[in-house]
Amino acid sequence: MTQQQMSLPAKLINGGIAGIVGVTCVFPIDLAKTRLQNQRQGHQVYKNMIDCLVKTVRSEGYFGMYRGAAVNLTLVTPEKAIKLAANDFFRHHLSKDGKGLNVFKEMLAGCSAGMCQVVITTPMEMLKIQLQDAGRLAAQQRKPCIIPVTRLATTNAVLSRSYNVLPNAPTAVSATQIARQLFHKEGIQGLYKGLGATLLRDVPFSIVYFPLFAHLNNLGKPSPDETAPFYWSFISGCAAGSIAAVAVNPCDVVKTRLQSLNKGANEETYSGIVDCFSKILKREGPSALLKGAGCRALVIAPLFGIVQVMYFIGVGEYVMSQYTLKLISN
């Protein structure tokens, strides 16, 4: 592997651009995933992804589908950059013995990348989920069978003011307001609520995704010394991403529920990962752990397909080469 290929700034640029493009394209599906995962039996507002998106547009307008997108777009650049660059970094150093990478080393590199990214992922998801789920809570309040709004406000004092100003629509609370309230009440650990569940999701995801993508992508190489065509890299990224996403979906359901500070009427709270798993299995059955799996696959597949295309095009390498030439010329 050449030094240019291991240019960390170029990898960071590629990952950042891919994250922004991917999130912009698939964010409405991610919003539907969050709302579907937070639904409990007997309190269902949405039947499926399409029903969720249609009802969201009707009650909140087109931009209601992008509730929480700002914080995601702001933090997805460092998040994806860290994840992808860290994986390449660890793969590079684990293959320095000249023997290449076996499956164990590929999984170890993916595991290390997953552990690095949670520094950004946890607060990003924490803030995003509060904004995404506001519409579901407001819609639940409008249903005549639901207990009045005052029950909703009692669950969490941090965000009760944000979501109960208007009884019929989610208040336009910003991620900055939520972050300030959490930090003021709970300190920095408030923004890292659900860190364990995030690790439980992202580390196995990276262990599955990166080795699987590498092997699928190798199948499309004309020869060992050549790179696979960009369309094959895109397909490989989509396939590996969707498989890994579905595989860890139970962990994603648990993470989403633990990070949701506001609860609807009669919706249970959880004391931790084990308590959340056991309550979901006992009260909703094993199928509840697969809620939003289709949405998550539809989010992750194009997102990581786009990532691999960006790597193939080499936008980051081009930017860094132009920057280097400019420095030399000056």
- pLDDT tens-digit map of 176-227: 889 999 899 999 999 999 999 999 999 999 999 999 999 999 999 988 888 8
Confidence of residue 125 (pLDDT cuts 50, 70, 90): very high
Question: Tens digits of per-residue pLDDT, 255-284?
Answer: 999 999 888 777 888 999 999 999 999 999
CATH fold, domain 20-325, is Mitochondrial carrier fold (1.50.40)
Within 8 A by CB and 6+ apart from 57, the residues are 64, 65
Q: Among candidates 224, 220, 257, 269, which has minimal Cα distance to 240? A: 220
CA separation for the pair 153, 202 (Å, rounded): 31
CA separation for the pair 321, 318 (Å, rounded): 5
pLDDT at 206: 94
12 contacts 316 by C-beta, under 8 angstroms: yes
Task: Please state the pTM of the whole predicted model.
Answer: 0.81
What single DSSP character describes residue 190?
Answer: H
* Tokens linked to 75: 């933090």
pLDDT at 162: 41
Domain residue ranges of the chain, discontinuous segments joined by +: 20-325
255 contacts 197 by C-beta, under 8 angstroms: yes
pLDDT at 304: 84
What is the mean pLDDT of the segment spanning 301-306? 85
